[in-house]
Every structure is written in C-alpha cells, then in structure tokens.
C-alpha cells in the first residue's frame, strides 16, 4: 500500500515539476530558434521525456543527518540520572497500554487512507490504459487498412531512386519497402519490424521523390518511430497534465524541422526552395487517420510556416551555444529532483498514513525520552537520524544491564517503529562452554574500554578462532563518533586488534 502511495506522490510531483521545465524549454527554443541546430532542440525533448518517464528523481543521497544535541541532554552526571528517573516513572507495561489505545483511531484513519490511495491509483491506471488502448487500436486499425488498400511499388525507376538515396545515407542493406496507398495524402514512414515508406496516389517527379525518400530515411536512421513510442508512453502516464500534450505536439514539429535540416544540409538557396515547394505540394485534404506511431512528410499548416523559414535559413549555427543549451537542459531536468523533494515536504494529512517526505516534528530529545520510557531505563549510547523508505526516524541505542536495545522512533509522530533487544554477553557457537581457562567477561570489557580510550560496551562475544586454535573476546565499544572493534586473547587478556569505525551520531 505504502509503495503505491509513494509512487503516486512521486508521479504527481514529477509531473508538476516537469511542467515548469517544459514551459522553460519552450521559451528557450523560441529564443534560440535561429541560433542553434534544430537537431539539438529535438533531442533536448528526449531528456525531458526520460525525466517524465522516471517518477523517482535522482537526488543527493544523505545516509544520515547530524542533529545537534542540546546541552541539557548530555548523557552524563546529573543529566543522565534525571532522564533515567523520568523514564523509570513510566513502566513498559503502562507505556505499551497507552500506545495500544492511541493506535485505535490511527488504524481507522490508516484504513481510510488505504482506500483513498487505491481509488486514486485506480483512476490513474484507468486513464493510462485508456490512452494506450486508444492509440494502439488506432495504429492497428490503420496498419490493417494499409495492408488492404496499398500496393507494393514495383516501378524500377522509383525503386532505383530509393536505393540511390539509401546508398548515399549508409542504409544500403536495410530492407525498406515502398507502397502506394489511396488512404493517405502525404508520404510517411510506418512499421517497426518491417518499415515501409508510403506514397499517396499522386504523380511525383524524380527530384521530389529523392527529397521524400531522404526525408523518410532520415526518420528511419534516427529512430524517430521509437521516439514517437516514448512520447506515447509518457503521454499515457501523464494523461492528466495538459502541458504534456503541448510537449507532444511540439516534439512532432521539431522532429520534422530537424529532419528537414538534415536533408537540405549543404544545399544552395534554389535547392532549399525546391524542397520547400515539394512539401507545399502535399497541402490538401488531410489523411483520414494519422497514427502517432508514424512520421508525416507534411506536418500540417500550423507548423508549415516555421518549417519553411527553417529550410530557407542558411546562417551558421553556434556549436558552443548548442552545447551550453544541451547542458542547461540536462542540469534543469536533473535538478528538478530537488524541486520534487521540496514540493513533497508537508505534514501527513491523515494520522497513520504514509509520511513520505513529511516534515519532522519530533526532536532528538523527545525520541530519546520515548526510547528510554519503552526500555524502562538505561544509558543512551548513540542517536542516529535515518531516512528509510517510509521517512525520517531516530535510531536510539540504549545499554541497560546486560542488554542493548536498538529503538527506532518516528520523527513525525514519536511512535515506536521497531525495537530490537540483544544480550551484550554471548557465548559463541565455537566456545564449547570452556570458560574456566579464560578471563571473566567484566575484565575483558574493562580491557576493551581502556584500549578504546573510554566509552560504553555495546557488544561482547566469546568466540573460538579455529585457525589460531584460541579463544578470543570480540568486543564493540562506542566512544563518541567512533565504534571500536576490540579483539583480545581470552586466556591472557592481550589485545591484538583495535579497529575504529566512524559512526556519526548526535552524541
């Protein structure tokens, strides 16, 4: 349940953040339309599409967070006694009973939250599947009509023009068919496994055919059909976002403009004019159906003016500006992950509901008091701030008698998420209960603490080193920001290993 809630939250936040990025890129494209190649503007949208396709955005991982401990919480002397006295006033049994009573309304609210999340997920998945089904049905219907109402081109003159264009573009051995279809009014490329260039039933001159074939072969070489498929998937995922539809329409226009730019590269003004007239020649009755998983030589009157200006533009484009433009788009898309995280910081509306990225309201001091109350006393050794999937929490390590307790306290409502108790002194499986020839546990602990320069023992095990054939004490000592792994010979108390490990905490 929580995974679905987290996914929906991430999806909505990404969609919101990327809407601003889409508007920014539209403005940037307008300002740089005549200064950078169309190909850069086209592939910049690929970065945006990938950003929309991945709801969980990259962010700087922070495994822990240092929280300054108030002076009153210095776990030593009178402060330690004060906290222990307060904790002992609340027995574990009474604390558990209070927690159980408080859980009843929380459980009811949580069940309602589960229901609301599943309703929202049902609405989203229904919209996504509807968009996909609509476009896939239109594509399959169009492909079926093409198979029925088209004929494979057998004219040697037309086939020769295609093969010449393929040779010039490095696509000599690619099996690309040519078909004439009465259902279309403009040339197009269709088919993922068996690509085919469709021509309308219209007389087309050899020069025009050469331009048409080079245009559609450019689409094929760049994989624009796969780009269209990616646009469809993103549009289906974000069917509720109108800016995504605006982006999809813009991508189609930029795709044709980038293709035109490649075809007329190096041509003089007369050839560019002829190419533009070739496109205008297909102005007329629109196709009955234009599936999204195809290209379209004539993209419509709305984009025609922009394409013609681009075709006739012979000015030099700035490569360094294009590089800066691309890096800026990548940076804005990646950094939108931080915007998403910022948008997600809000308190949970329903108690017990998933508080992913919710604002913490419990201090480290309160978390320690809660943990001490649940354990029933002891000494706080270390407090760490953790960020697991369900949100922020405090991990409180308490030593009480011969046991150590790892208590996980929610940073949002102060509830006990998890508590684990381990005995500090344990006889390892290889000890064979042969304790007569070893020093006692307390002496081993004292030696280990002295070797670590002070601190509190958090783990003590008596183990048998099979390779060396001796009994050893394996002791962990927490001292400030470090945890020391101390190993000593059990028979003599000789220390042969002291290994410090950095353990950041608020103590």
Question: What are the boundaries of each domain within the chain?
Answer: 425-502
Extract the residue ranges of the chain whose pLDDT is less than 50: 1, 60-109, 342-357, 427-436
C-alpha span between 118 and 125 (Å, rounded): 10
Reported pTM: 0.59
Helix (H) or strand (E) holding 336: helix 319-343
The torsion angles phi and psi of 7, rounded to 5 degrees, stand at -65, -45
CA dihedral of residues 204, 210, 216, 221 (deg, nearest 10): 170
Contacts of 296 (CB under 8 A, 6+ apart): 186, 188, 252, 256, 287, 290
pLDDT at 154: 85
- Using N-to-C axis directions, what is the helix angle for 2-31 and 319-343, rounded to 10°? 150
Q: Is 403 exposed, middle or buried (0-12, 13-18, 19+ CB in 10 A)?
A: middle
Question: In this predicted structure, what is the pLDDT of residue 337?
Answer: 61
190 φ, ψ (degrees, to nearest 5): -145, 150
Q: Which two tokens stand for residue 430?
A: 């290889």
Give the CATH class of 425-502.
Answer: alpha beta
| Other Cβ atoms closer than 10 A to 358 | 21
What integer pLDDT is reported at residue 348 of this predicted model? 41
How much of the chain is helix, strand and coil, in % rounded to 5?
A: 50, 15, 30
């Amino acid at each position: 349940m929580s995974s679905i809630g987290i996914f929906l939250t991430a999806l909505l936040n990404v969609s919101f953040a990327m809407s601003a990025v889409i508007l920014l890129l539209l403005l940037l494209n307008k300002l740089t339309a005549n200064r950078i190649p169309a190909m850069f503007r086209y592939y910049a949208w690929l970065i945006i599409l990938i950003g929309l396709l991945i709801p969980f955005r990259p962010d700087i991982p922070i495994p822990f967070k240092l929280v300054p401990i108030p002076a009153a919480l210095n776990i030593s002397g009178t402060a330690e006694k004060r906290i222990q006295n307060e904790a002992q006033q609340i027995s574990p049994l009474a604390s558990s009973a209070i927690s159980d009573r408080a859980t009843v309304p929380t459980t009811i609210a949580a069940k309602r939250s589960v229901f609301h999340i599943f309703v929202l997920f049902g609405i989203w998945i229904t919209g996504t599947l509807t968009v996909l089904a609509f476009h896939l049905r239109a594509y399959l219907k169009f492909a079926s009509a093409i198979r029925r109402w088209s004929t494979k081109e057998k004219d040697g003159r037309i086939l020769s023009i295609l093969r010449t264009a393929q040779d010039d573009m490095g696509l000599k051995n690619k099996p690309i068919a040519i078909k004439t279809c009465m259902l279309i009014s403009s040339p197009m490329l269709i088919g993922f496994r068996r690509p085919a260039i469709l021509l309308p039933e219209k007389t087309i001159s050899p020069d025009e055919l050469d331009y048409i074939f080079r245009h559609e072969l450019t689409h094929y070489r760049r994989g624009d059909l796969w780009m269209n498929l990616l646009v469809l998937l993103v549009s289906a995922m974000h069917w509720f976002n109108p800016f995504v539809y605006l982006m999809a329409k813009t991508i189609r226009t930029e795709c044709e403009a980038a293709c035109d730019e490649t075809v007329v590269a190096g041509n003089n003004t007369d050839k560019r004019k002829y190419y533009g007239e070739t496109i205008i020649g297909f102005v007329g009755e629109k196709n009955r159906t234009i599936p999204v998983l195809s290209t379209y030589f004539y993209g419509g009157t709305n984009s025609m003016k922009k394409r013609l200006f681009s075709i006739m533009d012979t000015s030099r484009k700035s490569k360094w500006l294009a590089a800066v433009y691309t890096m800026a788009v990548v940076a804005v898309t990646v950094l939108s992950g931080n915007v998403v995280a910022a948008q997600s910081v809000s308190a949970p509306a329903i108690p017990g509901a998933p508080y992913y990225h919710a604002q913490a309201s419990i201090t480290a001091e309160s978390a320690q008091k809660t943990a001490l109350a649940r354990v029933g006393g002891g000494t706080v050794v270390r407090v760490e701030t953790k960020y697991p999937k369900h949100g922020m929490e405090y991990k409180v390590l308490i030593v009480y008698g011969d046991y150590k307790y790892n208590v996980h306290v929610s940073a949002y409502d102060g509830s006990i998420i998890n508590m684990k108790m381990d005995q500090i002194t344990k006889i390892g499986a290889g000890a064979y209960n042969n304790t007569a020839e070893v020093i006692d546990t307390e002496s081993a602990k004292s030696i280990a603490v002295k070797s670590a320069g002070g601190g509190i023992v958090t783990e003590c095990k008596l183990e048998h080193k099979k390779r060396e054939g001796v009994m050893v004490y394996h002791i962990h000592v927490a001292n400030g920001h470090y945890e020391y792994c101390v190993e000593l010979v059990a028979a003599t108390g000789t220390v042969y290993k002291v290994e410090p490990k950095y353990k950041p905490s608020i103590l």
